Amino acid sequence: MKAKYTFLLLACTLSLSSYVFRHDGDNSGVAPHSPPNPAFSVSGLCFGDTTHFENYTILGFNYMWTVTNINGDTIFTSDSISPSYYFDTPGTYTVELMADNGHVVAITSDLTIGDSLYADFAIQTCTSNGMRFTTRSGCADHYQWIFPDGSTSDLPAPEYKFDSLGTYAVQLIAYNGSASDTLTRSILVEDLGIPTGEFTYTQSKRTGYFTPLDKDGQHYYWEFGDGTSIDTTAPVTITHTYLEDDDIFTYPVSLLVSNKCGLASKQKMFDETQTTSIGEVSSEITLCVFPNPSEGMFTINGWKENQSFHIRIFDLEGRMVFENARQSSTNIDLKHSIAPGIYYLQMTSDTRQAHARILIR
């Protein structure tokens, strides 16, 4: 039984106009941010079993599940993250998952409760590892996924990262004991998942050649630690030469990459006295930002108090919307600086960096 959806799973984008929304309430005055990216897998579709819905939504805050029968009558609702339900009658049912983070996105899937084994799956793009495949198979007790490079998985909802854009065949074999059913689909890959922000570089004395590793980015924002920055829209190698300075020999170089799926940033140190790169800044720190969401007042745990740092805030299309060059307080007041929405917080010092997502209501 093939699933049907109320929005385009294969064209994940940060542009609000590219999603099919059901707007509940007045969203006027709310800054654009990425809507939820809902997905779920289903197990226990054999009659007599309890059916479990496993939620894999990205950027969701609240959920509503609705199950209707073939006549359109609602037989079950739940606001749990991953509910279970016992179907007492065989037949075809429609399951809707509605995810809300200020924008509301709903997906639906037709499921068959019966005694026949069948393979079926759905797709979630824009995951941290590229793409997620979620089973909708009936009367299956285990699975085997076969991906284009020959790798396999027995998980109900594995992630897979394609090497490049294009069309690929993905196969699911659903098993019940020794019986099996096979489904092969052609998958159109239009993005490679949430970017990593990773880059490499080589150098010749004070000149560095910086190359991003994310090849499907829409925006690349470089900062070289000497007050200069470069914006590009292609994954090209950037050449940057530092001016001679008797007092400064090392510079933090950072790259922020955004694509259809989100954004990410990395930082490395450039040492003009070296002939090769000296690697990344010390390991990233895990930040605890609270309350999150808030009205704009945040406290940050995980960064040493009174240590000076540089704070930048980007929207989910990679635009910098706030910057504070140097501060040491871990209490941040954005109440009158930024409109409500989801943002990406970046904190950097000379030797380390940290990131967090924040929601301003």
- Give 87-146 pLDDT, tens digit per residue: 999 999 999 999 998 889 999 999 999 999 999 999 999 998 899 999 999 999 999 999
Which amino acid is it at 118?
Y
Task: Give the span between the Cα atoms of 55 and 95, in whole angstroms.
Answer: 13
pLDDT at 18 over 80: no
- 164 token code pair: 């490049």
Please, which residues have CB within 8 angstroms of residue 134's CB and are 6 or more apart in sequence? 39, 40, 41, 42, 54, 56, 121, 122, 123, 124, 156, 157
Q: Please indicate, yes or no, whether residues 178 and 293 belong to a single structural domain of this protein.
A: no
Q: Please indicate, yes or no, whether residues 16 and 143 belong to a single structural domain of this protein.
A: yes
Of the three residues 162, 189, 216, the one that is the final residue of a domain is 189
- Residue appearing with tokens 């699911």: 172
Mean pLDDT of the chain: 83
Q: Please indicate, yes or no, whether residues 40 and 146 belong to a single structural domain of this protein.
A: yes
- Residue appearing with tokens 């954005």: 334
Q: What are phi and psi of 293, to 5 degrees?
A: -75, 165
- Residue appearing with tokens 């994954």: 235
What integer is the mean pLDDT of 156-165?
Answer: 94
Task: Give the span between the Cα atoms of 309 and 292, in whole angstroms.
Answer: 21
Q: Please indicate, yes or no, whether residues 263 and 121 belong to a single structural domain of this protein.
A: no
Q: Please indicate, yes or no, whether residues 55 and 131 belong to a single structural domain of this protein.
A: yes
Which amino acid is it at 29?
G
Of the three residues 171, 189, 207, the one that is the final residue of a domain is 189
What integer is the mean pLDDT of 39-51?
Answer: 97
Tell me the HSE value of 95 on the side-chain side, using a 13 A CA sphere. Answer: 30
Quick: pLDDT tens for 238-267.
999 999 876 777 788 999 999 888 888 888
- Residue appearing with tokens 């099996």: 180
Quick: pLDDT tens for 191-247.
899 899 999 999 988 999 999 999 999 999 999 989 899 999 999 999 999 998 767
Q: What are phi and psi of 30, to 5 degrees?
A: -90, 130
Nearest to 45 by CA among 132, 110, 128, 125: 110
Please, which residues have CB within 8 angstroms of residue 123's CB and are 6 or more apart in sequence? 9, 10, 131, 132, 133, 134, 187
Q: Which helix (H) or strand (E) holds 80?
A: none
Residue 4 is assigned to a structural domain of this protein: no
Q: Please indicate, yes or no, whether residues 177 and 210 belong to a single structural domain of this protein.
A: no
- 334 token code pair: 């954005």
Pairing of strands 142-146, 166-176: antiparallel
Strand partners, 327: 309
User: What's the confidence (pLDDT) of residue 27?
Assistant: 35
Of the three residues 252, 281, 310, the one that is the final residue of a domain is 281
Residue 57 is assigned to a structural domain of this protein: yes
Q: What is the domain extent for residue 155?
A: 9-189
Task: Give the span between the Cα atoms of 124 and 37, in whole angstroms.
Answer: 8
Residue 3 is assigned to a structural domain of this protein: no
